[in-house]
Structure 1
Amino acid sequence: MGHASIENKTPLVLEPLFLADEEMRPLLTLVVKATYDIGRDGLTLADEQVPVNVAGEYWGVPEESGYRYEPECAFIKPATDVVLVGHACAPAPGTTEVLVALQVGPVRKAVRVVGERVWFKSMGSISMTKPRPFERIPLRYERAFGGWDRTDPDPAKHGFEPRNPVGVGFRASPRHFEEGLRLPNLEDPEQPLQRFGQAVAPASFGFVSPHWQPRASFAGTYDGAWTQKRKPLLPKDFNRRYFNAASPGLVAPGFLQGGEPVALVGASPLGRLAFALPRVIPKATVELAGSEDVHPALNLDTLILDTDEHRAFLLWRASVPLRDGPHDVRSVRLEAEGLPVVSTESGEGANMEGKT
């Protein structure tokens, strides 16, 4: 048979991906992405809709930085990730500390952002310098507590903070003092760093990388039994919560529905932002060979607020089990309530086959 056809009757981006679940059963995963401009008066649908980011994007070198945008190619997320990308913005010259607070419907989080500080030793005691004034500080895990301790001459004794290997300030022992060691700029206001050698929870609003804790704990057990009995399938104890990549406290219970109030303080030069999420309901129809049309429920499972670019990204996702593979799919049609109707029928099915 020929390639499947795609009819997108919305201004949003539709990306069909051919993936597999835990048991390597073939799936058609539909990812729908909306781009909105953030303004003082709320959200407006952007003229340019940003494509689905299948590869993802790091802030810097992958081994030394976290994700700016995670790869948008999971076959499922069991809840909605809420992510903030941007900078803490000082309200006035001379600011040394600001509280960044985000609330989206049922989820809320606050992070204390402090100017540059270092540890120093004076008369036998270890203290931190007073924070320096700042204008903007990145809200990235590289500025939160964590990192590596490589002070021991034996590399085998090097250690790291498993919740944030790319952060700053981690030392495996209070005996590993280093003059001028940076302190984190981002802190949990309920658990500030107070003494050298203290281990606190990394605080940020960004994506948690797959190999960081606690996310990595949901990946399952890769031991000898897995190698002998399950490989290359995922382990039996794999938990789909692994696919949720938002920071602790920013995974919504269930899925956001649209219409939820959003409030953001301290992370935009526009000042306090307050608006409601758009009430958009994408609806997909999938025609499969030899069966009735399927109408999978598209769940809003990712919200990214980027106050550097003043854009908001909303992603919906649904997966349809396939009998054999991509050739099962005859057509995909996307419509949406709450958006103007457009007519864009394309032969993108020629490209669908390679999207994995």
Structure 2
Amino acid sequence: MELINRLPFPAIAFRQFDANGDLDCVVSVRGTFVHRQGEALAIAPKQEDFQWEDAYDGDPHAGPLLRQTDLTPEKVGTDITFLGNAHAPGGTPAPSWQVGLRVGELSKKLDVHGARFWRPVIKEKWAGFSARQARRVLTDWQLTEAEPASSVQICWSKAYGGQIPGTGNPETETPADVEARNPLGCGIVNLDMPSDQAPVAAPQITLPGETLNWREQVEPQGLGLVSPWWRSRQQHAGTYDEAWLNERHPLLPKDFDARFWQSAHPDLVAIPHLTGDEDYQLDHLHPSFALAAGRLPGISLGVRCAGHERDEWYLLSLDGVHFDWRNDSRVMLTWRARFPLQEAGETSLTLTRVQVKAAVDADAGEVVA
């Protein structure tokens, strides 16, 4: 199997078993672009390399996911994610403000806050008349006012979640339990913590208008990529039991759901896929533009599969729009196609831009290179 890539972007073709054990072909493309205020994204002069594996900021269990592998076989929708900082309006430090991310019709708004903490409330209690001194007891937690900030990192470590106090055992090397929806987060406290407990960082990223109560769980909020073992993805992974091991392995379980491959927050998965040419706007997420506005490029990609008495075209789906504004204004777009290819042999795959002609009727269409 040969891939002829006529695009300025890195691409790869690989084989993948389907649910029945037949072989498919997956063609995956990663393009690096640059934000231009009020205009369509421009192709970056330097393209990021193909992403062979998930990339993390340090330890995968302690740092956020920065890039999802391009060996992902399929996605049912378009992931929209953001890496970078929220910037206070006008650059003036503020305790809280709102940010927004919109691509096409899909949008999400969040409140961001400067550093704030759960402060322990300690009271003295006497055990009885015979007690020689009062016992210090943690009786409540109070949320401090947010400190003014000019920027706040939009990272899962600043959203609700993290380790659950009182779990784990260092002596037996048993790790602490974590909030499965966001193992990297902060803000979980309880009354079983020691009376000399220092203040605990509280979530700085919340839904608009959301108030915190330390006794109540809240849904972790963010714009970044989600790791495969977090609940929003893991719940779709299927059942790996003895029946799977004896009857299905190495195929995926019968109850595997392709939504597992989506790496964005569930609120930021566009179904059906975006097609290109959608406009976007990011509010208070760019260091230079309070409202960073632009448009996705109107690019349609196709792959021609020729060989073994077949000559067919397949359109690639735009399945990822990833803003990485930590250091510059780059935006990564990913495209993917998956189609049956039981016999690869001398098959030739030609990857190129295509023009999609309007269909004569609802069931007809044409792809022209």
- Normalising to structure 1: TM-score of the pair? 0.86
The match for 1:184 among 193, 197, 203 is 203
Q: Partners of 2:245 and 2:6 in 1: how far apart? A: 46
Deviation at 1:152, TM superposition (A): 4.5
Q: Deviations over 1:31-86 (max 9, x none)?
A: 12221111324321111222221212112211112201111211111111111111
- Is 1:30 paired with 2:30? no
Whole-angstrom CA distance in 2 between matches of 1:74 and 1:335? 20
User: How far off is 1:146 after superposition?
Assistant: 0.5
Quote the Cα distance in structure 2 between the aligned partners of 1:319 and 1:85: 28
Q: Calculate the aligned-residue CA RMSD, in Å.
A: 2.1
The separation in 1 between residues aligned to 2:287 and 2:70, in whole angstroms, is 28
- 1:95 maps to 94
Matched, 1:17 2:14: yes
Q: Which residue of 2 aligns with 1:109?
A: 108
Report the residue type matching 1:164 in the other structure.
N
Which SS does the other structure have where 1:116 is aligned?
coil
SS at match of 1:63: coil
| Cα distance in 1 for residues equivalent to 2:293 and 2:278 | 11
1:166 aligned onto 2:165: no
State the secondary structure of the residue aligned to 1:148: coil
| Unmatched 5+ stretches in structure 1 | 339-356
Residue pair 1:255, 1:300 contacting (<8 A) in 2 also: yes
Return the alpha-carbon distance in structure 2 between the equivalents of residues 99 and 250 of structure 1.
17
Offset of 1:99 from its aligned partner?
Answer: 1.2
Is the 2:76–2:271 contact (alpha carbons within 8 Å) kept by the matching residues of 1?
A: no
Give 1:40's aligned residue: 37
| Residues 160 and 182 in structure 2, CA contact (< 8 A), matched pair in contact too | yes
Shift of 1:105: 1.0
- Shift of the alpha carbon at 1:114? 0.7
Note the C-alpha offset of 1:305: 1.2
Letter in 2 for 1:169: G
8 Å CA contact 2:161–2:185 kept in 1: the answer is yes
Q: Which residue pairs with 1:81 in the alignment? A: 79
Classify the secondary structure of the residue corresponding to 2:260: helix
Give the equivalent residue in structure 2 for 1:333.
Answer: 350
Residue of structure 2 equivalent to 1:235: 253
> Partner of 2:234: helix, strand, or coil?
helix
2:217 alignment partner, one of 199, 208, 220: 199
CA offset digits 1:236-283 (Å, max 9, x no partner): 111111111111210002110111120110111122111121110112
Q: How big is each residue's C-alpha offset from its partner over 1:162-181, in whole Å with a ceiling of 9 and x where there is no partner? A: 1011111124x454474311
Deviation at 1:160, TM superposition (A): 1.8
- Once residues 93 and 152 of structure 2 are traced to their aligned partners in structure 1, the CA distance between those partners, rounded to angstroms, is 14
Give the Cα–Cα distance (whole angstroms) in 1 for the partners of residues 111 and 45 of structure 2: 35
Q: 2:259 aligns to what SS in structure 1? A: helix
Aligned with 1:165: secondary structure?
coil
CA contact (8 A) 1:23 1:234 kept: no
Moved more, 132-141 or 67-76: 132-141
Residue identity matched to 2:332: F
* Partner-residue secondary structure (3-state), 1:142: helix
Distance 2:202 2:54 in 1: 29
Name the % identity.
28
Find 2:283's aligned residue among 259, 265, 270. Answer: 265
Counterparts of 2:341 and 2:276, CA distance in 1? 29
Aligned length: 330
Report which structure shows greater RCO (CA 8 Å, sep ≥6).
1
Is the Cα contact below 8 Å between 2:300 and 2:315 reproduced in 1? Answer: no
Q: Does 1:256 align with 2:274?
A: yes
Quote the Cα distance in structure 1 between the aligned partners of 2:351 and 2:32. Answer: 16
Cα separation, 1, equivalents of 2:305 and 2:346? 7
Is the 1:299–1:318 contact (alpha carbons within 8 Å) kept by the matching residues of 2? yes
TM-score where L is the length of structure 2: 0.83
The residue number in structure 2 matching 1:55 is 53
